[in-house]
Structure 1
Amino acid sequence: MKATFIYRQSMVNNEKRAGDVFSVFPRFLDTPGLIEQNFRLLFGEATANKFLEKWATNLKTKVITESHGLVPTTELLDLTRNAESTAEIENGWDSDMSAILLLLHLLPPSAQGRKRPGKVSACQAVEHLIRFIKAGTSVQQHLDNISQSSQPYLLAQGPARSSIYTFFIVIDKYALPCKATGSVGALDELFKAHYVFGLGLTLSKN
């Protein structure tokens, strides 16, 4: 990984060659942890650990607190209840992912672009961040059903949204396995993938 780092960076920063990175470096498709390794080579140990440390200490609590000031909707109330709960909620995401999705409701809409005549709601923005498939469902079938390009997102697989045992990062029609088995760690890997592969990062509702 370290020996090929410079060459790989030259590829992802070259618009004509960026699409070939997974054919040249196929280990990203079957080896969890390579995104994390590459990110640490880019930014160092301290930067690599920042999000996980802040989330555990105070960021999650702040997100939940701020969400209480929003206009309540059914989805928002469900997410808040799930985020504050220590028990498994039927048909809902786990506590950490629910808090992460609350963050989408707190983000202000970005400036409206010429090519995007409408604004995406927080509910719609969830689809840009994470999608769920039941345990036993073919990941390849999910990839085959992708009909248009989108920004990278998490694909969560498990018996229920509150009980995920495998996360993938979907980039184009490739599924990269996450090393993390928890939702916060998987989200951390998703963010890092944007930097590792030179991809645009869209967090706001636009």
Structure 2
Amino acid sequence: MEETAIHRAKWIRANGTKAVVNIMMEFPRLVDTPGMISQDFMMLQPEAPDKLTANWNTLFAPRIISLAQKEKTEITKNIDLLSADKQGEVALQLLPVLLPTGVYKVGKKMCRPSRLELSRAFIDVQPVGTNLAEYLTKAPTEYPFVLMLGDGHQCSQAFVVINGTALEHPSLLGAVDVCFKAFFVFDIAYPKVCSKVWEFIQTALFEIPGQEANEVKILRAQFNSI
């Protein structure tokens, strides 16, 4: 699989963007074998494979929490009482708070997503015991996203959902990491509803150059100044 990673990348990008379902049919090992998305990403971005998971809890999360506490959001209440790992999970959920989505256009329609819609497009938090099979029949298929079973301060299970397939990961951080990498491997544009969050993760955390909204540039400057 490692030796054929570049072949897959070229096939996916040949003749324009391909539908995820077609990519999964051609290369089913990408989603049914753990580690394949991360491995292909490493071949495409050899300088950035582990920057998020290696630095999140110790370096990135404290900065995000510091910035978010100024917003006085409920999820930061008593956050100092949590372990570093739990603070890291909360910090991931704070990214949509710091990067709200304004009005954007889809075709001729103007959209203004709520904060809940933005959060769910990035990390959809559902209660423990959610019927996963039933959930997946109604889940979005246009883009990858993270599903977390638990509450704001406690992740019981974490998944990356890609085209109706749920890939379980041992941690919320690991799921966000692989979800980001899936956008690169499958050559998928970030969904507009939460594009600023993924742009920030790309440019500020993975340090991969790319398009940035003005809000992302401002937050990145504030983030780097801490």
TM-score normalised per structure 1 = 0.76
Match of 1:86 among 76, 82, 85: 82
CA contact (8 A) 2:31 2:37 kept: no
Match of 1:175 among 166, 172, 177: 166
The answer to which structure, 1 or 2, has the higher relative contact order (CA under 8 A, 6+ apart) is: 1
Percent identity of paired positions between Structure 1 and Structure 2: 25
> Which contiguous aligned blocks of 4+ residues in structure 1 show a shift greater than 6 angstroms?
none
Match of 1:106 among 98, 101, 116: 98
Counterpart in the other structure of 1:90: none
Match of 2:147 among 147, 155, 161: 155
CA contact (8 A) 1:168 1:177 kept: yes
CA contact (8 A) 2:147 2:158 kept: yes
For 1:3, give the aligned amino acid: E
Superposition pairs of residues 120-159 of structure 1, within 5 angstroms: 120-133=113-126, 137-146=130-139, 149-157=141-149
* Aligned-partner Cα distance in 2 for 1:170–1:13: 22
- Shift, 1:37, TM fit: 0.9
Instruction: Tell me the alpha carbon deviations over residues 3-49 of structure 1, each in whole angstroms, 9 at most, x when there is no partner.
Output: 321331133224346532212222233322111111111111x4112
Cα distance, 1:132–1:109 mapped onto 2, change above 3 Å: closer
DSSP 3-state at the match of 2:52 = helix
- Shift, 1:98, TM fit: 1.7
Counterpart in the other structure of 2:65: 64
For 1:7, give the aligned amino acid: H
* Aligned-partner Cα distance in 1 for 2:182–2:78: 27
DSSP 3-state at the match of 1:169 = strand
* Aligned-partner Cα distance in 1 for 2:102–2:54: 27
Unaligned runs of 5+ in 2: 198-212, 214-226
Measured on the aligned residues, the alpha-carbon RMSD in Å equals 2.8
Counterpart in the other structure of 1:55: 56
For 2:37, give the aligned amino acid: I
CA contact (8 A) 2:124 2:146 kept: yes
Instruction: Tell me the alpha carbon deviations over residues 138-157 of structure 1, each in whole angstroms, 9 at most, x when there is no partner.
Output: 433222233x5442111234
CA contact (8 A) 2:168 2:175 kept: no
Counterpart in the other structure of 1:91: none
- Shift, 1:165, TM fit: 4.6
* Aligned-partner Cα distance in 1 for 2:117–2:130: 23
Is the helix fraction higher in 1 or 2? Answer: 2
Counterpart in the other structure of 2:189: 200
DSSP 3-state at the match of 2:159 = strand
